[in-house]
Amino acid sequence: MKHVLAIDIGGTKLAAGVVAQDGTIVSKGRVPTDVPKGPEQAIERLNALCRQLMAQAGNPEIAVIGIGCGGPLDPRTGVTLTPPNLPGWEDFPVVARVEKGLGKKAFIDNDANAAVLGEHLFGAGRGYQHLVYLTVSTGVGGGVILDGRLYQGMNGNAAELGHLSMSYDGWPCPCGSKGCIEAFCSGTNIARRARLTASPRLLELAGSREAITTEHVVAAVREGDAAARKVWDDTLEVLGAGVASMINAFNPQRVIIGGGVASVGPLFLEPVARIGLARAMKPLAKGVDVVPAALGDQVGVMGAAAVAFSHL
Ligand SMILES: [Zn+2]
């Protein structure tokens, strides 16, 4: 049984695990990213954690290291570009630093691409050849498997599905475009829109306008609050239209949706699936299912493990 070391680099935590070929996590742990202290120190903490986890696992032979990291990044050079969640990590050679510290070959991909590889190998995408993966969380990310392989595009940054534009003159997005899915449907932006129309019930639940979060919106929707319902329904309408565009673009067998916002369950998934399938072109919508992600909280480490296994 082969083992890999899986590393998940995020804006708040660095998680790692020793993962066996059958998907068993033999050991796992995490340390804070501590972004203000910079990437060099973070990688030192990470490498120390990895040595500890390998010892805990009984020092199995590690075939290769897989890393999932907030993008954008260049998977061929192993260098981060301008990751918005990791300020100070611009043009940082993550792969070279990890390889130097741990003495093993390492491969990296952005966290959403790692996640679709993880779902494909260990989760809801097992056995499928054509997959679209969407994560709706603080941001909105995506990954695509075509013909059984991760679709990376010209420079490894394909499938930025959160920045599909749903409205040519729509809401502004920090990426520079307008009408992007993320700028409307991310957890951050659901909360921002709810604050604009803060209903008495939302204010009561949150305590103040500024304190309103997506969780409050969901709670108010479940209680039948009309203003929260409007914010929620608009979100699902845009996401559903986005899913239809993804089905039309990639002709997948399955659309997998993960992330914190999606984890509210049928209140989220059923309308997005219904709208997405109704709006996609009929021959492409036929036979597609829209399902929740299976890896849940483990997606970071399992995705990174899948990055590693995809190189064996
Ligand atoms: Zn955008």
> 131 alpha carbon to ligand 1 midpoint, in Å?
22
Q: How far apart are CA 268 and CA 18, in angstroms?
A: 33
Please check whether residues 140 and 286 belong to one and the same domain: yes
The answer on 139 and 67 residing in a single domain is no
Is the CB of residue 27 less than 8 Å from the CB of residue 59?
no
pLDDT at 85: 87
- 188 CA → ligand 1 middle, Å: 14
Supply the range of the domain harboring residue 231.
127-293
- 202 and 57 housed in the same domain: no
Across the beta sheet with 131-136, what order do the strands follow? Answer: 149-150, 140-146, 131-136, 254-258, 289-292
Cα(200)–Cα(198) distance, rounded to whole angstroms? 7
* Cα distances (Å, whole numbers) of residue 296 to 82, 115, 164, 214, 310: 27, 10, 24, 18, 20
CA 55 to centroid of ligand 1, rounded, Å: 43
Tell me, yes or no, whether 50 and 136 share the same domain.
Answer: no
Q: What is the dihedral of CA 225, 201, 179, 234, to 10 degrees?
A: 0
Do 48 and 9 sit in the same domain of this protein? yes
Q: 108 and 135: one domain?
A: no
Q: Provide the whole-model pTM.
A: 0.95
The CATH number of the domain holding residue 195 is 3.30.420.40
Q: Are residues 237 and 285 in the same domain?
A: yes
d(CA 242, CA 236): 9
Pair (112, 237) in one structural domain:
no
Both tokens assigned to 111? 């966290």
41 and 155 housed in the same domain: no
pLDDT at 42: 97
Q: How many domains does one find in the chain?
A: 2
pLDDT in tens, 167-200: 999 999 989 999 999 999 999 999 999 999 999 9
Residues of the chain with pLDDT under 70: none
- Extract the tokens encoding 59: 């020092």
pLDDT at 144: 98
Q: What spacing in Å lies between the alpha carbon of 183 and ligand 1's midpoint?
A: 6
State the pLDDT at residue 3. Answer: 98
Whether 198 and 238 map to the same domain: the answer is: yes
Q: Do both 86 and 159 map to the same domain?
A: no
My answer on whether 232 and 113 are in the same domain is no
pLDDT digits (tens, 9 = 90+) for 51-84: 999 999 999 999 999 999 998 999 999 999 988 8
pLDDT tens for 228-248 read 999 999 999 999 999 999 999
